[in-house]
Structure 1
Amino acid sequence: MTLAAASGPPGPGTGPSPLSSLFSDRVGQEHADGGSAATSVDPLSRVLRTLDTISAAELEGGPDLRTVVEAPPVGVGDPVSGGRTAEKPAVSSRREAILDAAAALFAERGYHGASLRDISREVGISHPGMLHHFSSKEALLGAVVDRLEAHAQGLLDSVEVLQSSPQSLVAALAGPWDPREHSMALLATLSAEVVNPDHPGRFRIARLRLVHEHVLEQVLAGLAANGRLVEGSDPKFLARTLFSLLLGLTVRERTVRELQKAADGDPIADVQAFVQQLVTG
């Protein structure tokens, strides 16, 4: 299951609408003439438009998330010759190392708590060397969020598999949604930070959370359609509750867990026990 590409109004360049048209931090402000963007009818876009703070905004349909996030980045200092990118392996490797360090520090300290100099020291490069790859911390955050979107796209593509049985969902909760995983820690930290309306990743992170809730809702709705969900359950409510539980357990792993001497309160056991209360058979 992927986001279908949609043809929007003509704009600069050619090709499908960029990912920013769906996950922009300035949605509703992209058109200088004040006109609204073309709306998409795919389920994910409808879900994204339910976010209270942007409910009046019209969202543009975008291409498959993975198609965009895996495309070579433009303008990050890689030499271009004859219209072809001549990226050297060392450049790509250094860029990935920067992203790894940034993601780790953002997860631990938050966006505002980690400076570009902190990240450059973590990687072992100079500050000017850092700026060669990423011109600002906001640009670096955007690239880190691209990775989170790729992770969410993988889950979105797996909805049909996860709907097949309660066991498939339970297995995923110990895999891509594991509260002990770095991607969940990063999302939990950034989700807490974006309550600040001035956070540069506010809307992308909020919408990313809606993507995860949407995936869980579709999975639970599929289980309900097959008679595998407790009768009378609301998949939308359960999806919000389940993902909130996952984020809460993620925070617990990095705080309360350090204070516990006993090995009780395993996050996987906790979330799987919760799901077992929801499913039948």
Structure 2
Amino acid sequence: MARPFRQQIDEGILDRAAALFARRGFAKTSLQDVADAVGLSKAGLLHHFPSKDALHEAVLAQAEAKARGVLDEVGPLPFGEARDRRAVDVVLDVALAHPGLVALMLAPVLQADADPGAGKGASGAALAAFGVDLETSDPERLVRVLGALGALAVLSLAAHHEGQTTAWRAHVAATCFDALGHRRPGAERPSSDQVEA
């Protein structure tokens, strides 16, 4: 078996650290917590990142880079169903490849007690991919986008946990698209017997 490259190791460290920062916050996450999560000693972790602050800066930089990549992918498309579909696909691909980073990116909009600075720019970019703003968007559209992103975050993490990232991908995308209020190709309309809650 080939040994992973340093970049792959660093990306794995960043992703696990991002997940811890998203869940516990920067102040409550120690270098030892991150080292334990990635299977390194604290000294081994410091070989990759010289301090907790350096690790945090690298995590935020990677989250920002992934968010910019999402915007670059969907930016040329006009707002609407096609852009929403593409945004779901792109964000989902990032989530399945980097679940910790996506947890960090979405924490400011999905967790009331998230660190205020953690992934704030990246979460804004995720919302911008769908053309919404927390302050000014139509409430229904905002709720639909937050619902889709929440479903995406939870389901992509569950897919990782269950080892089902490939098998669940299409179902996660369909769930997010449904949350956005778009009818999937081939989807049946709800029967008139169904009552809205």
Structure 1 length normalisation: TM-score? 0.44
How many residue pairs end up in the alignment?
162
Q: In 2, are the aligned partners of 1:107 and 1:186 still within 8 Å (CA)? A: yes
Give the alignment partner of residue 275 of structure 1, picking from 173, 180, 196: 180
Of the three residues 184, 187, 204, the one matched with 2:105 is 187
TM-score (norm 2): 0.58
d(CA) in 1 for partners of 2:150, 2:27: 21
Letter in 2 for 1:275: L
- CA contact 2:64–2:119 (8 Å) conserved in 1: no
In 2, distance between residues paired with 1:90 and 1:273? 39
- How far did residue 169 of structure 1 move? 2.7
Taking the aligned partners of 1:217 and 1:268, their CA distance within structure 2 comes to 18
Contact 1:115–1:137 (CA<8 Å) still a contact in 2? yes
| Structure holding more helix per residue | 2
Aligned equivalent of 1:244, options 146, 157, 167: 146
1:125: which partner in 2?
Answer: 40
Q: Which runs of 5+ in 1 are unaligned?
A: 1-88, 219-234
User: Which residues of 2 match residues 109-148 of structure 1 at below 5 A?
Assistant: 111=26, 114-148=29-63
Deviation at 1:91, TM superposition (A): 5.3
Deviation of 1:120 (Å): 1.8
Deviation at 1:123, TM superposition (A): 3.4
Counterpart in 2 of 1:156?
71
SS at match of 2:178: helix
- Once the 2 structures are TM-superposed, how far is the Cα of residue 273 of structure 1 from its aligned partner? 2.2
Match of 1:205 in 2: 119
Does the Cα contact within 8 Å between 1:103 and 1:144 map onto a contact in 2? Answer: yes
Q: 1:247 to 1:109 in 2, by over 3 A?
A: farther
Q: Percent identity?
A: 28
Name the structure 2 match of 1:214. Answer: 128
2:75 aligned with 1:170: no
**TM-fit CA distance, 1:209:** 2.0
**Equivalents in 2 of 1:216, 1:243: separation in Å?**
7
Kindly report the root-mean-square deviation, in angstroms, between the aligned alpha carbons of the 2 structures. 3.9
- Code of the residue aligned with 1:211 in structure 2: it is A
* In structure 1, C-alpha distance between the alignment counterparts of 2:40 and 2:145, rounded to whole Å: 37
- Largest Rg, 1 or 2: 1
Kept in 2, the 8 Å contact 1:178–1:268? The answer is no
Is the 1:191–1:205 Cα contact (8 Å) retained in structure 2? Answer: no
Q: Residue 173 of structure 1: CA displacement?
A: 0.9
Whether the 8 Å contact between 1:110 and 1:193 is mirrored in structure 2 is no
Give structure 2 stretches of 5+ with no counterpart. Answer: 162-167, 184-197
Specify which structure has the bigger relative contact order, considering alpha-carbon pairs within 8 angstroms and separated by 6 or more residues.
2
Contact (CA 8 Å) 1:212, 1:243: kept in 2 or not?
no
